[in-house]
Amino acid sequence: MGSACAGEKGSGGQLCWWQWPNVLAVDAALIAVIWQQWLGRPGMAAGAVLGLSVWLMYTGDRWLDVRGLPPERILTARHRFARRWAMELLVVWGAVLVAAAVLSVVGLTVAQFSAGVALLGVCVLYSVAVHRHLRVPKELLVALIFAAGTGIFPLTWDHLAFRLDGLAALFLLAFANCSLIAFRELSIDREMGRTSLARQHPASRVWAFRGLVVAFALGVVMAVGASPQYLMVSVCAAGMFALGMGGRRLSPELFRVLADLILLLPGLCLLFNA
């Protein structure tokens, strides 16, 4: 396996190549854009705004996570990176915020812009609740925001039932992704003082697996009703289920990367249908 990677217990802090997309938060942004384009194809401007917004949310969340924490309590590669490059990230974060705002004004319709502003308000409330350590169902809220952000473009009634099925599947997959990662990082969250559903409700792990069963069924329904390519939803659900059941031997860093990689699989459908 080679040398240990940053964020693994006892590692020397060197990042492995496969950690970089997660450390830089580009994997989450790419997942959102891929699902948005796969389910709705709203155009380049909407995709760019969504990708930049997701990156802003994830990067800002990590920066807030490490604020005020002593170095010895920062136990993940992504949080160590956020702490080490805090000022540089703040500058880049500001530039990306300006770019996202400009693209939103010039590239979105009034209805899309209004929906985006409403969702931004929800994101701000989420950040306040989480970082004030309120007992909120963090993973559930992240999944809802992620699915809502992916689904607000385009705002049309075309193929609404199909899009709702797809977004419901994405919500369940995102919830399972966040929940299973939280259980794998339970000791890390405890040490860093981060809230999670795993800490608040230790018996909730089964909810993730039940949601994956429903997502698997939705994938079959979408494949029968629209196109066989949407069996990829079922593939994602089965992959996440298998990872959750057998991933305890993996390091938390590798588990997280694989969980996110599974949600990138619909990108293969976009490539083949381009």
* Contacts (Cβ under 8 Å, ≥6 apart) of 220: 231, 234
The model's pTM: 0.90
Q: What pLDDT was estimated at residue 2?
A: 44
Q: What pLDDT was estimated at residue 215?
A: 97
Residue among 55, 48, 59 nearest 104 (CA): 48
Q: What pLDDT was estimated at residue 3?
A: 47
Q: What pLDDT was estimated at residue 113?
A: 85
The CA radius of gyration of the chain, in Å to the nearest whole number, is: 18
**How far is 147 from 164, CA to CA, in rounded Å?**
10
Residue 222 CA: distances (Å) to CA of 35, 161, 227, 228, 230: 14, 10, 7, 8, 6
Task: Give burial (CB, 10 Å; 0-12/13-18/19+) of 120.
Answer: middle
Q: What is the pLDDT along the chain (274 residues), one digit of tens a residue?
A: 344 565 554 444 678 999 999 999 999 999 999 999 888 777 788 889 999 999 999 999 999 889 888 988 999 999 999 999 999 999 999 999 999 999 999 988 888 888 888 888 888 888 888 777 677 788 988 999 999 888 877 655 455 666 788 899 999 999 999 999 999 999 998 888 888 888 888 888 999 999 999 999 999 999 998 889 999 999 999 999 999 999 889 999 999 999 999 999 999 988 887 5
Note whether 234 and 172 are within 8 A (CB): no
Task: Give burial (CB, 10 Å; 0-12/13-18/19+) of 203.
Answer: exposed
**How far is 83 from 218, CA to CA, in rounded Å?**
40
**How far is 269 from 36, CA to CA, in rounded Å?**
13
Task: Give burial (CB, 10 Å; 0-12/13-18/19+) of 185.
Answer: buried
Residue 110, φ and ψ in degrees, nearest 5 = -60, -40
- Cis peptide bond upstream of 154, omega within 30: yes
**How far is 121 from 128, CA to CA, in rounded Å?**
11
Domain boundaries, the chain: 18-272
